[in-house]
Amino acid sequence: MSSAKLREEIQTQLDKLEANFSRLVVGQKPLFQKLMVVLLSDGHMLLEGLPGLAKTLAIRTLASLLNLPFHRVQFTPDLLPADILGTQIYQPQTGEFRIRKGPIFAGILLADEINRAPAKVQSALLEAMQERQVTIGETTFPLPEPFLVLATQNPIDQEGTYPLPEASLDRFLLKAVVGYPSRDEELQILDRQAPIANPPKLEPVMGLEELKQLRAAVDLIHLDPKLKNYIVDVVRATRHPEEYQLDIGGWIQFGASPRATIALARIAKAQALLAGRDYVNPDDIRSLSYDVLRHRIVMSYEGESQEKKPDDVVKAILGKLPIP
C-alpha cells in the first residue's frame, strides 16, 4: 500500500473517531486532539480544569469508542495504595494468599482529582506508569496493552490537597489545561442535554489492532534533524537559559528533564499524523511545548514573587529561539 493511501485510511479512521466523540462531548476538540496524541504516543496525561468541563465524560467516551476497559478511581485523603494496585487476601480454607487485582488493571485508568490523595498513594502509580507493571507482594504482573493513566486535578479549592511530587509529574507525557466552551458550543450543550431519557449510544469504532497500526504509523513520521536540535534547545533552555541569552534564570529553580525532550519529539510526530502529514513541522513543536513543559518546570521563589508561571517561561523561550 502506498504511503498516500495509508495516510488516507488513517485519516478516515481518525475522522470517524472524532465524529462519534463529538456526538457526546461538545466544544472540546482541543481536548480530543490531546487525548489522541497521548494515546498514539503510548503515554499518560494530566488534565487541569474547573469542574463541569466534561473531563470525565471525554475520557469515558474515548474508552467506549476504543472498546478499552475503563476504571475510574476517586482519589481521596483516606485512599490506600492497595485500593488502586490490589492486595493479597488470606484464604483460611487453604492457608494461602490470593491476589485480588485493583482497578489499575484497565486499558484506561481515570485518576480523578489525583492531588486529593497523599504522596504514598500518588507514588503507587510510578511503577505502573513507567514500567507498565504492578508488584503485589512478591509477584509482578504486567499491565494490559494499551495502558493509559489520565489524571484530573482542580486548579481551585486547594484546601486538603497534596501537590504532586516532581517524580510523579515527570511521568505524565503532557499536562493539558481544559478551558470553557464558546457561547455557540454552550448552546449546543444545552440542546443536547434536553432529551435526558434518550442519551446517544456509542458503539466502538476502533479496536486494538487499529490502534496498533496508528501507533506504528507514528513511528514512520519524519522528524528533520534541524527540528530535533530545536527540541533539544527548547528543553535545555529551561535548565540553562543564560546559554540562550534569556533573562529568566531567576524565575526557574529546576528545568525540565530529558523525559521532556523524548515526550516533545514523540507527541509532535503524533500531532503530525493527526493533521494528515508524514512529517513534523515547527508549529507542532511550538504548540505542544506548553503541554510538555508546564508541569516539569519548577519555579523559584523569585519567579513566584513576580507572579510568573511555567507558561511564561515557555513563551519567553519560544520567542527567543530562532525557528528552523
Q: Which three cell numbers stand for residue 130?
A: 513507567
Please spell the DSSP secondary structure of 126-188, one letter per residue: HHHHHHSEEEETTEEEEPPSS-EEEEEE-SS--TT--PPPHHHHHTSSEEEEP----HHHHHH
Instruction: Provide CATH 1.10.8.80 ranges for the chain.
Output: 221-320
Instruction: Provide CATH 3.40.50.300 ranges for the chain.
Output: 3-201
pLDDT at 197 over 70: no
3-class secondary structure, 90? strand
Mean pLDDT (the chain) is 87
Average pLDDT, stretch 79-86?
Answer: 90
Quick one: pLDDT band at residue 1, thresholds 50, 70, 90? Answer: very low
pLDDT at 306 over 50: yes
Homologous superfamily of domain range 3-201: P-loop containing nucleotide triphosphate hydrolases (3.40.50.300)
pLDDT at 6 over 80: no
Instruction: Decide the pairing of beta strands 96-101 and 148-153.
Output: unpaired
Check if the beta carbon of residue 285 is closer than 8 Å to that of residue 324: no
Q: What is the C-alpha to C-alpha distance for residues 302 and 310, in angstroms, rounded to an integer?
A: 13
Four-residue CA torsion sign, 137, 139, 140, 146: negative
| Three-class secondary structure assignment of 232-276 | HHHHHCCCCHHHHCCCCHHHEEECCCHHHHHHHHHHHHHHHHHCC
Query: Taking the model in full, what pTM does it have?
Result: 0.87
Side chain identity, residue 253: Q
* pLDDT at residue 139 in the model: 85
45 to 16, 38, 78, 159: CA distances (angstroms): 23, 7, 24, 23
Q: What are 57-72's pLDDT values in tens digits?
A: 888 888 889 888 899 9
* pLDDT at residue 53 in the model: 79
Identify the top-confidence range among 77-91, 167-181, 269-283. Answer: 269-283
Q: Which three cell numbers stand for residue 307?
A: 507572579
- Determine the CATH number of domain 221-320: 1.10.8.80
pLDDT at 159 over 80: no
Average pLDDT, stretch 35-52?
Answer: 89
Quick one: pLDDT band at residue 318, thresholds 50, 70, 90? Answer: very high
Lowest-confidence range among 153-157, 201-205, 242-246? 153-157
* pLDDT at residue 137 in the model: 81
